[in-house]
Structure 1
């Protein structure tokens, strides 16, 4: 990775410089998360003091790659951020985790910033994001060399760039994991390319309102995914394949500070299990532990556990299934 005159690592401008092999590559959004731990949201005209504040890198696939890096997996992130100080911050934060950021392009405009307000009582949060300023990656920005050597490609959106990447990955014999949060008109083309579709309650409520979990999972499988997983926060996760009946994994009990990034850490943990070729039930349990442990600190990345921490936690909670 090149350096600018301040000694700060700068990703290749065109995203097509020489890159080192990575076992997992993420494609998606990278944001600055400005987090505030609060007792209540301020009312217009009033002032409120936060209990704590933190500034971190965020984004679904980005946090999943940071999770995997903490677990000892070689990872790379493909995205676009602004040619600004926030963009430098984001690249440096991911690089500190060990994520290869040579696939992060730099574009004109400001990097995306999200205000995250975390309820001190429950750990639940609300988001307030700045408008999109830097042009997101499009299909024309996606090239096979961005994913060269990877075993798994992780996508956080079924957009044009994600669809192009999924097609290239499947042509190369790579496995594709989808983090389903937002709706997309391209799902019909996208899901047949996906091995594991891991969708949130938020996605499910908008995709199939009022449908029970099993119906949602069966619909994902019918649409082409090999494995379907529904994450339900404190209610745990449920999964299915065409040949396996429903597998339910309860959420682990931890002292929750902030649930930001819990689902993203789950995805990272799930991909780790895929890389180990574990059975689905074991993979889900490991993923649930990674997600739960990430709730013990403010922000989506500062509390990410390493492999020894997850293993020790699982040993102390042997009956969680």
Structure 2
């Protein structure tokens, strides 16, 4: 399978410890610091490559050390960067991730993150791929109005599509763009908190009622962290699965590896409960390493976790 991932690139600086919340005029010591490849789109791309997909990444970076690091890491993990543009007038984005056991908070300098535009995306690439995915709908402001038409063209040729919203840092949660995009989307992959904010709902059941009718052609896979995931399709009862009980080292990128598992599983014929279990296994494998690409899932490892008696870590 060939997948085109269209998205943002940045580095993640992951700061770990037991007391990680910054306070003005105070200095704290941390337990660890790692600089790793960041961005929802990039982590999903690397996880897809680890699962066995051929992955082409489309993005742009600055001509700086962080940009070169992003390209080097993508290539090292088997993702093609021939469609990543380098612009010497720009700075590559950076996210500071303050990570404690089971949770994290993020501070991001956008840099090139919101600057992807249609001119960066070759039509020839879309024609030769089986699936198109992007992450960080709200961060990728240069593409927000363009996604429905692009996904429509992709779907008209028999290819499949998916996207992840990410968090809306503006806290506006404008659902109109999402609603226009859903009828041409095969897999919509928000977190539970993101979905509830989008539709002004206090439960998943209330959110289902608010979603547009066109979503019935695809599926909504809702990531619920330690509570597992739920799959929704109009006209069918929701399918829920629990998370696998593994030791968490860092949650960075867990949702992105879930995305990759969902896409890969869907494209290889998994559906319903089995599809969700495979995606959750990919997310569970991710949290056992530091950074979004510290412990990438493989099909064999995910299937072993799915088949283990109580989801014991490997």
Unmatched 5+ residue regions in structure 1? 1-21
TM-score (norm 1): 0.86
SS of 1:296's equivalent in the other structure is coil
From 88, 95, 111, the equivalent of 1:114 is 95
Relative to 1, partners in 2 of residues 1:293 and 1:204: Cα closer, same or farther, differing over 3 Å? Answer: same
* 1:87 maps to 2:56: no
The Cα of 1:223 is off from its aligned counterpart by 4.2
* Structure 2 equivalent of residue 128 of structure 1: 107
From 254, 257, 262, the equivalent of 1:262 is 254
* Structure 1 equivalent of residue 192 of structure 2: 201
Kindly report which structure 2 residues correspond to 1:1-321, keeping only aligned pairs within 5 A, or say none.
23-40=2-19, 41-107=21-87, 108-119=89-100, 122-133=101-112, 136-156=115-135, 157=137, 159-181=144-166, 182=168, 183-184=173-174, 185-220=176-211, 222-224=213-215, 226-317=218-309
Relative to 1, partners in 2 of residues 1:292 and 1:218: Cα closer, same or farther, differing over 3 Å? Answer: farther
Q: Distance in 2 between matches of 1:283 and 1:73?
A: 17
The Cα of 1:294 is off from its aligned counterpart by 0.5
- The answer as to whether partners of 1:29 and 1:79 remain within 8 angstroms in 2 is yes
The Cα of 1:116 is off from its aligned counterpart by 0.5
The Cα of 1:171 is off from its aligned counterpart by 2.7
Aligned residues: 297
* Structure 2 equivalent of residue 19 of structure 1: none
Q: Quote the RMSD (CA, aligned, Å).
A: 2.1
Q: Distance in 1 between matches of 2:193 and 2:246?
A: 22
- The answer as to whether partners of 1:200 and 1:230 remain within 8 angstroms in 2 is yes
SS of 2:278's equivalent in the other structure is helix
Q: Distance in 1 between matches of 2:67 and 2:162?
A: 26
- The answer as to whether partners of 2:179 and 2:211 remain within 8 angstroms in 1 is no
Q: Distance in 1 between matches of 2:105 and 2:288?
A: 17
Deviations 1:167-213 (CA, angstroms, capped at 9, x unpaired): 33123221011212244542232111101111112322321233321
- The answer as to whether partners of 2:278 and 2:302 remain within 8 angstroms in 1 is yes
SS of 1:44's equivalent in the other structure is coil
- The answer as to whether partners of 1:32 and 1:56 remain within 8 angstroms in 2 is yes
* Structure 2 equivalent of residue 12 of structure 1: none
* Structure 1 equivalent of residue 140 of structure 2: none
Relative to 1, partners in 2 of residues 1:211 and 1:231: Cα closer, same or farther, differing over 3 Å? Answer: same
Unmatched 5+ residue regions in structure 2? 138-142
TM-score (norm 2): 0.88
The Cα of 1:39 is off from its aligned counterpart by 1.3
- The answer as to whether partners of 2:199 and 2:211 remain within 8 angstroms in 1 is no
The Cα of 1:283 is off from its aligned counterpart by 0.9
Q: Distance in 1 between matches of 2:157 and 2:62?
A: 30
Q: Distance in 2 between matches of 1:210 and 1:270?
A: 25
Q: Distance in 1 between matches of 2:295 and 2:204?
A: 29
The Cα of 1:53 is off from its aligned counterpart by 1.3
Deviations 1:121-176 (CA, angstroms, capped at 9, x unpaired): x3310111114357611234333213232111112227134334313312322101
The Cα of 1:310 is off from its aligned counterpart by 1.4
